Amino acid sequence: MIAALWIVTAIALLLWSALAAGLWALLSVDPAWVAELHTRMADTRLGDLLDVWLGGWDEWLAWAIELSQGLLRSLQGWLVWILGAVWGLGTLVVLGITGLLHLAIRESQPKPLSS
């Protein structure tokens, strides 16, 4: 049971690290790529579908693009540090919860009889 707990924890930490690395790779690129999102979406069938279901998606997307570009440009110098801190805190939380579960499992197991 304890081995399964630590295996699941290792997999969770692997996925958490992959998510952080992917987010870092995405956010370390120049924020100008976000502006291309509008033209790419408008040229696809998704743009036509959004016109049918969400009439004002163009304005909302333009607002979201402006907001995200401004946020990314303002945080560009601190992004690596913020992402590293969030990753580290998340890792510590996962390891702390796993450690507590490890202790709970260990304490709930019957103790061997001493001779």
State percent of the chain over pLDDT 90: 37
Tokens encoding 62: 């333009």
DSSP characters over 44-113 = SHHHHHHHHH-TTHHHHHHHHHHHHHHHHHHHTTTHHHHHHHHHHHHHHHHHHHHHHHHHHHHHHSPPPP
Where is pLDDT greater, at 22 or 39?
22
pLDDT tens across 43-77, in order? Answer: 777 777 777 777 776 677 778 777 877 887 787 77
pLDDT at 72: 75
pLDDT at 87: 94
pLDDT tens across 73-92, in order? Answer: 787 778 888 889 999 999 99
